[in-house]
Chains A and B, each alone.
Chain A
Amino acid sequence: MRFKIKVGEKEYDIELLETENEIEVRVGDKNFYFQKEKEPFLAKTKFDKRDFKEKKIFAPIGGIITEIFVKEGDVVKKGQKLFLLSAMKMENEILSTFDGKVKNILVKKKDSVKKDQVLLVGE
């Protein structure tokens, strides 16, 4: 690709050549080489795939389910206590993020759960 650029009163003849890894820019009789930028690295996160509109309750941390305060079919309100999850020296009350009905409880008392594991599905 050839083109002209005018900077102030001076005009430059430019030629652009592209190979797989490089871009060569000829300005008059001078050559400049540029390496193509590699694809930016994107960190993979499980977190972004979560759909918080979905009526699901996730384990915020790994641990053991020590109490389940609701049963399938129960109507729950946002902020209602659903589980007690014991992690290393921490007791965690897990509250509902939605108003609705408990469709499935996917864990039992004393189950060991991983971080981000789905504990309950609502509807």
Chain B
Amino acid sequence: MKILEFEKLDSTQKKAKEIAEISNPWTVILAKEQCSGYGRKGNVWYSPKGGLYFSVILPKTKIDDVQMLTFLSAFCVAKILHEELGIKPFIKWPNDIFLNGKKVCGILTENVICGKDVKMSIIGLGLNTNIEMFPDDLKNIATSLKIELKRDFENRILLEKILKGLKEVFNIFY
């Protein structure tokens, strides 16, 4: 699994899409901050330094399998947060993760499909780890691990655990 790390990107999803065709499956795009991080329907994902933002170029598979992986990825992240940090996150179906009623992690999958052929699948994940505060329009709906647990987290360690989890889920089902 190759991790390409960037100081700053528009969006890890955008970068992953650009390089997907020339990259091996399980290539990971990691950015310390994103200036135009986005979620579903183009909604902005607030991505200052401190958070964990990455996209994974997935192996080509059937659309239903990608859908299943997308659903299971939230479970995978929640399980890691529970096991590593001893917290009990809430999964809002299908795959937002909440802590104390506020969103702490979002997951988005993007596919490019031509007929029966899924040409590209990229899963992106934003986990609010070491974000100290949110702007006024977000502070009532978003939170971070640091705000909730009052300490810092090693993004790289969490990243590696999440990637391992995603790969395990993928290998079990496909």
Interface positions of B (Cβ within 8 A of A): 40-41, 63-64, 66-67, 70-71, 94-95, 107-116, 118-119
Which of B63, B111, B115 has the most chain A CB within a 10 Å cutoff?
B115
Contact string against B for A residues 86-105, beta-carbon threshold 8 Å, 1 for contact and 0 otherwise: 11111111111100000000
Interface size on A, residues (CB 8 A): 19
With a CB–CB cut-off of 8 A, which chain B residues contact A117? none
The answer for the CA separation of A12 and B40 in the assembled complex, in Å, is 77
With a CB–CB cut-off of 8 A, which chain B residues contact A91? 40-41, 108-111
Q: In the complex, how many angstroms separate the beta carbon of B57 from the nearest chain A beta carbon?
A: 15
With a CB–CB cut-off of 8 A, which chain A residues contact B40? 86, 89, 91
The answer on a CB contact under 8 Å between B41 and A86 is: yes
The answer for the CA separation of A97 and B114 in the assembled complex, in Å, is 6
The answer for the CA separation of A42 and B66 in the assembled complex, in Å, is 28
Within 8 Å of chain B (Cβ to Cβ): is A3?
no
Tally inter-chain residue pairs, CB-CB below 8 A: 59
Closest chain B residue to A57, Cβ basis: B115
Instruction: From known contacts A60-B63, A61-B63, infer whether A92 and B115 are also in contact, taking CB-CB under 8 Å.
Output: no
With a CB–CB cut-off of 8 A, which chain A residues contact B110? 90-93
The answer on a CB contact under 8 Å between B114 and A89 is: no
The answer on a CB contact under 8 Å between A97 and B111 is: no
12 chain-A/chain-B pairs, Cβ below 8 angstroms: A52-B116, A60-B116, A86-B40, A87-B67, A88-B67, A88-B70, A88-B94, A89-B40, A89-B70, A91-B109, A92-B110, A95-B114
Q: In the complex, how many angstroms separate the beta carbon of A42 from the nearest chain B beta carbon?
A: 21
The answer for the CA separation of A86 and B70 in the assembled complex, in Å, is 13
Q: 7 closest Cβ contacts across the A-B interface?
A: A95-B114, A97-B115, A90-B109, A93-B112, A92-B111, A91-B110, A60-B113
The answer on a CB contact under 8 Å between B70 and A95 is: no
The answer on a CB contact under 8 Å between B70 and A93 is: no
With a CB–CB cut-off of 8 A, which chain B residues contact A88? 67, 70-71, 94
Which of B95, B109, B111 has the most chain A CB within a 10 Å cutoff?
B111
With a CB–CB cut-off of 8 A, which chain A residues contact B119? 95
With a CB–CB cut-off of 8 A, which chain B residues contact A58? 115
